[in-house]
Copies of this chain bind each other. A is one copy, B any other.
Amino acid sequence: MYTTLIQVRTIRYHHIADELRSRVQSGVYASGRLLPSESELSSEFSMSRVTVRKALELLRDEGLVDSRQGFGWFVAGEPVRQPLGRLATIEDQMRASGMTPERHVLEFAFEKAPRDVARALGTPNVLRVLRINLADGEPFAVVTVWCAAERGQHLSRADVERTPFYELLDVPLEGATQTIAADAATKSEATHLNVPEGAPVLRCRRVTTGSDGKPVLVSHHVFPGHRTEFVVDLPSAEPSIAPSGLRLVE
């Protein structure tokens, strides 16, 4: 029997990424620690700077490292766990993780709603609030909330910066439906969240309904993928213990 040896190309930027990932995971580079500069890595690995960058960008997309122009590349931190089934605000959750929460309203405007929002709220005239949640001074989430203008006219910008919408609204709430997806950060999200465009984010869309079953709030929450993860308790699908809203998917 005859065999053939073939020379297979190895992808150089993967080698760099693998080596750097290994150093981070073994603790050589601790959380928050600055990595060697692109130029230094280029010398160390005898590869062009573009190849080094390609490796670093791969690791950034994994959430393992991050960069600031002019400053350098550094190891990113640990995600905050947000239980979906627990009565806690984002701020409560940050405090439980030992972080200092902050909330800033970026935009507060009465305007015409996007079509899907208008359809959900039953009116195109809405109050839109764009706000950012910070944890220890760092961006944690960008949140856009829409409510009908009729309701929003009673709310001040200072109100919504100080107090969650749910506590401000004059209507009892029945619940919400939320979608959770992974996506790449858009330019403006990236700017607000201080992550690169294209970085993985959790994109949540929520419609909150009042006790009459009608939507009263639509909100979009965007979290950097490396900063948070959700936890869900999924009770068994056995009829005797099934709760009203949840089932085991698989």
Contacts and interface: CB of A to CB of B under 8 A. Distances in A.
Nearest to A79: B181
A62 B58 CA distance: 15
A61 B115 CA distance: 25
B58 A248 contact: no
Contacts of A200: 182-184, 200-201, 225
Interface stretch (A23-31, A117-125, A151-159, A238-246): A238-246
A131 to B, nearest CB: 11
A65 to B, nearest CB: 11
A246 B84 contact: yes
Interface stretch (A34-42, A67-75, A226-234): A226-234
A78 to B, nearest CB: 12
Contact of A173 (B61, B62, B229, B238): B238
A206 to B, nearest CB: 8
SS of A interface (majority): mixed
A235 B183 contact: no
B248 A166 contact: yes
Contacts of A84: 232, 234, 246-247, 249
A202 B232 CA distance: 14
B184 A233 contact: no
Contacts of A225: 181-184, 200
Residue among A86, A179, A221 with max Cβ neighbours from chain B (10 Å): A179
A250 B90 contact: yes
A29 B176 CA distance: 35
A66 interface: no
Interface in A157-198: 164, 166, 172-184, 186-187, 197-198
Given A234-B177, A245-B246, A247-B86, A182 B201 contact: yes
26 contacts: A57-B198, A62-B184, A62-B198, A63-B183, A84-B232, A84-B246, A84-B247, A84-B249, A85-B246, A86-B247, A89-B249, A174-B236, A174-B241, A175-B234, A176-B234, A177-B232, A177-B233, A179-B229, A180-B232, A182-B183, A182-B202, A182-B223, A183-B225, A233-B246, A235-B245, A243-B243
Interface of A: 14, 57-58, 61-63, 79, 81-90, 93, 164, 166, 172-184, 186-187, 197-203, 206, 221, 223, 225-226, 228-238, 241-250
